[in-house]
Amino acid sequence: MLVVNHKGEIFLGERHGESGKWQFPQGGVESELTLEENVLKELSEELGAESNKFQIVKKLNHTHEYNFRNPPAYAKDKWRGQSQTFWVVKFLGKDSDIKLDKNTPEFMNFKWVSVDDISTLVEPVRLPGYDGALKEYRSSFLPK
What local confidence, expressed as pLDDT, does residue 80 receive? Answer: 59
Q: What is the DSSP letter of 136?
A: H
Rounded-to-integer distance, Cα 2 and Cα 74, Å: 25
pLDDT score of 64: 83
First to last CA, the chain: 23
For residue 132, which of 62, 60, 57 has the smallest C-alpha distance? Answer: 62
Rounded to a whole number of angstroms, the CA Rg of the chain reads 15
Question: Residue 65 pairs with which residues in a beta bridge?
Answer: 83
Total residue count of the chain as it appears in this document: 144
DSSP code of residue 135? H
pTM above 0.95, yes or no: no
In sequence order, the 6+-apart residues with CB closer than 8 A to the CB of 110 are: 11, 12, 13, 14, 47, 98, 100
In the chain, beta strands by DSSP E: 2-4, 10-15, 22-23, 54-67, 81-91, 107-113
What string of pLDDT tens digits covers the 144 residues of the chain?
Answer: 999 999 999 999 999 999 999 999 998 899 999 999 999 999 999 999 999 999 999 999 998 876 666 766 766 666 555 678 999 999 999 999 999 999 999 999 999 999 999 999 999 988 989 999 999 999 999 987
**CATH number assigned to the domain comprising residue 120:** 3.90.79.10
- Tally of domains in the chain: 1
Paired sense of beta strands 2-4 and 81-91, if any: parallel
43: containing domain: 2-141
